Structure 1
Amino acid sequence: MTDPYIPLEDQLLYTRGALEIIDRNGFGVTLITKSSRVLRDLDVLKSIQTHSKCVIQMTLTTYDEDLCKILEPNVSTTKERFETLLTLYKEGIPTIVWLTPILPFINDNEGNLRGILDYCIKAHVKGIICFDMGVTLREGNREYFYSKLEQHFPGLKETYINKYGNSYILSSPQNKHLMRIFHQVCEENGIMHNHEEIFNYLRTYEDHRLNLLDFI
């Protein structure tokens, strides 16, 4: 599994080819990416949306651009992804945001959350998926994660070990407070925030060609 818009896609055009097959055969599509490269295929996405359903999902976790470049190197920054979401909205393509993972003691703060939510409001996203303010660590990726903590946040590895040990789920100490804000802001702005409701929306096919006259 990988992002469908890795840099090599500029030469391979595999994702575009797959989208063209989907479009040609009348299917709908949803994909999830961290790349503004998705706009390269806007023409195909819009074509799919005219006869079926096209939803683009995008991950946003870190409002601060400098911090984003540390946590998510080699992908579009959060601001670039926000601008991509806004363009998709203006072109009639609905979007869903994944607000995960949130890293304890790094970006698990109210300022970061409100910045991301403000981007989502401005981009008119249909829904935001957030199960919890935290991160999961499996054996194998835990070691890699800790090595990066040592590199970019000296001393934080010990804080993680002391608090979480070898736990799989690492919830932020601010989880309850931040989740209250998340649900409240989404509710106030008409953004779906129940993940089951969002998954239902993604599974539901809406035929834009249907007309009430067809049933008379």
Structure 2
Amino acid sequence: MHYVQVKGILSAKNGMNLYRGCSHGCIYCDSRSSCYQMPHAFEDIEVKQNALVLLEEALRRKRKKCMIGTGSMTDPYIPLETELGSVRQAMELVYKYGCGFTVLTKSDRILRDLDLLQKINASAKCVVQMTLTTYDEELCKKIEPYVSTTRERFEALKQLRDAGIPTVVWLAPILPFINDTEANLRGILDYCIEAGVYGIICFGMGLTLRDGNREYFYQQLDRHFP
């Protein structure tokens, strides 16, 4: 982990990443691609030290309420979040300024913030997006080794449903000869039905295989699927 000072926190579409890099170890992660110009080891998490100050300044200037999103580049609920609490503090600011919130994660750590999710959803709107790639728990441990298992994410989706939080599942990526079986897809879809998700997204379905993404993915294929 290391700290940096940044010039801005919100993108033009009101997305933010409080961290850069990730420790979940997903073998297919596009955020490893060289085009994102990450100047440090991917597992050496970059913490944007002044992010919360910048976020409050940006929210204070907003003339219209909007949805603030996080999780597009780095899963916000990496283990480090348990220690630092940056995401929770950001959510508190989102609630304070009356904006909505959407988050994409693969971790059941999000349940720590269930109270805030409910408060935001009651005052504006809140949507939790959860990635599910495999119904097979053993396969999950190979392709997403350091994140909540699919079963744990499914249980989290049910708790979010019971709390009145709208949920969406990202069914991606589909990896040829690994998780593209009918049994796997039906298993995930059954989870989605039981959890009452509002929708399913298949974002391109496969991988970009850009520089950085490609090399790491092929290394992990050699390791786990020789």
TM-score of the superposition, structure 1-length normalised? 0.70
Q: 1:50 Cα shift? A: 1.0
Alpha-carbon distance in 2 for matches of 1:103, 1:66? 15
The answer to whether the 8 Å contact 1:108/1:133 transfers is no
Aligned twin of 2:170: 98
- Compute the displacement of 1:143 (Å): 1.1
Note the C-alpha offset of 1:24. 1.3
Q: 2:158 aligns with which of 78, 86, 96?
A: 86
Q: Distance in 2 between matches of 1:53 and 1:134?
A: 30
Q: CA RMSD in A?
A: 0.9
| Change in 2 beyond 3 A, CA 1:5/1:131 | closer
The answer to whether the aligner puts 1:139 opposite 2:211 as a matched pair is yes
1:12-161 correspondence to structure 2 within 5 Å:
12-154=84-226
Instruction: Please show how residues 135-214 of structure 1 align to structure 2 within 5 Å.
Output: 135-154=207-226
**What residue is the counterpart of 2:54 in the other structure?**
none
Rg larger in structure: 1
Superposed CA offset, 1:10-57 (max 9, x none):
110000000001111111100100000000000001011111000000
8 Å contact kept, 2:170–2:203: no
* Whole-Å separation in 1 of the counterparts to 2:128 and 2:186: 22
Query: In the TM superposition, what whole-angstrom CA distance separates every residue of 1:150-197 from its partner, at most 9, and x where no partner exists?
Result: 11111xxxxxxxxxxxxxxxxxxxxxxxxxxxxxxxxxxxxxxxxxxx
Q: Percent identity?
A: 67
In the alignment of these two chains, the number of paired residues is 154
1:68 aligned counterpart, secondary structure? helix
Which 4+ runs in 1 deviate beyond 2 A? 131-136
1:144 to partner: Cα distance: 1.1
Aligned mates of 2:147, 2:181 — CA distance in 1: 23
Greater relative CO (CA pairs within 8 A, separation 6+): 2
- 1:146 and 1:24 mapped to 2: Cα distance? 45
Q: How far 1:136 moved relative to its partner?
A: 2.5
Point out the more displaced range, 25-34 or 123-132: 123-132
Distance in 2, matches of 1:152 and 1:36, equals 25
Distance in 2, matches of 1:144 and 1:3, equals 18
More helix by share: 1
In the alignment, structure 2 segments of 5+ residues that lack a partner are 1-72
